[in-house]
Amino acid sequence: MAYTQLYYHLVWRVRNGGPLLTAAAEPLILDYLRWRAIGLGGAVFALEGAADHVHLVAAVPPRVAVHAFVGQVQRSAATRFNHRTPETPLAWADDYGAMTFDGKRLPYVIAYVEQQKAHHAAGTIIPVLERVDDRPPARGAVHEAPPAYRVAAGMAAWWGEMMEME
């Protein structure tokens, strides 16, 4: 089996922006999401919601396309929740956000997701981690020129960082 280190921050909304993730519904929905993500071979590092959306930090196995992973996790949770609670049906919006990041930043992304409710209450969200559509950012995309690759100067630091990774 191949070794991979594929970390994703995933976010998606409830259809029509409804505040479905109530105190009673949220634990069930998050359990269903977690159960399916793990069933697909994913590793769940953080999973939290706000009133109308969910954030998931996970390692997605390379054999599963990100779009398929999100879709299957969403469908499974909605089906199970709707079977149990038909009076308040759950439906997810079609769009979602997916960002990759490296293992060095994993603890920071986990901490951000675990504090979702506090971030939304205090207005301290990170906009790029809340995006669920492909609209261009307000300030436009920033494309930086890649730095010159200097083997001798940066090799020791890079080697040390890589050795610290599990």
7-137+145-164 CATH fold: Alpha-Beta Plaits (3.30.70)
Q: What span, in angstroms and rounded, lies between the C-alpha atoms of 22 and 29?
A: 10
pTM higher than the cut 0.85: no
Note the pLDDT tens digit of each residue in 83-101.
998 888 889 999 999 999 8
For residue 70, what pLDDT is reported?
97
| Chain Cα centroid distance, residue 142 | 22
Q: Which residues pair with 92 in a beta bridge?
A: 14
Residue at token pair 């269903």: 32
User: Residue 45: what pLDDT?
Assistant: 97
Distances (CA, A) of 129 to 8, 85, 162: 11, 30, 26
**What 8-state DSSP symbol labels residue 14?**
E
Mean pLDDT over 44-67 rounds to 94
CA dihedral (76, 33, 97, 133) in degrees, to 10, reads 50
Spell out the alpha helix ranges (H) of the chain. Answer: 25-39, 66-84, 106-114, 116-122, 151-164
> Could you tell me the residue ranges of all domains in the chain?
7-137+145-164
